[in-house]
Amino acid sequence: MSTAKVTYLGDLRTEATHLKSGATYITDAPTDNNGKGAAFSPTDTVATGLASCMLTVMGIKANQMEVSLKGATAAVTKTMASDPRRISKIKVVLQFPAGISKKEQVILERTANSCPVHYSLHPDIEKDVSFNWGE
């Protein structure tokens, strides 16, 4: 069974629908590639997917350890290259609430760096990930 349906809406815009839930999101081509930049670009969703995946698997592990990550955030910066046009670097800066022990931090960082999206990205894409604990 399919995971999603993507419909081209015209004007370099798509609508993606998650088939199980019906949730949707829009993508637009970025302004540096003939688009309006009015929504996430497809490459933005890839870069953001890395951060979402990291926080999700960390959340699973944190729940198992009875640690709260509620309020944790990730700032994502995507760098593009050309010839061919592609993502060359994804920078993720993760910020966590205070009160997580050093041992728990090590476990959670290892968990984040083993998320499925991290392993799915091409090895040529530089992944610059930093963890800020309770700062």
Give all strands (DSSP E) within 50-134, no chain letters. Answer: 73-81, 86-96, 126-133
Nearest C-alpha neighbor of 113 from the set 97, 99, 100, 128: 128
Angle at CA 34, nearest 5°, toward 4 and 52? 40
Section 33-52 average pLDDT: 96
**For the chain, which domains are there?**
4-33 (no CATH), 42-133 (3.30.300.20)
| pLDDT of residue 89 exceeding 80 | yes
Question: What's the predicted TM-score (pTM) here?
Answer: 0.94
Are 43 and 54 within 8 A, CB to CB?
Answer: no
In eight-state DSSP terms, residue 98 is S
Joined tokens for residue 44: 């933005």
| pLDDT of residue 120 exceeding 70 | yes
| pLDDT of residue 132 exceeding 90 | yes
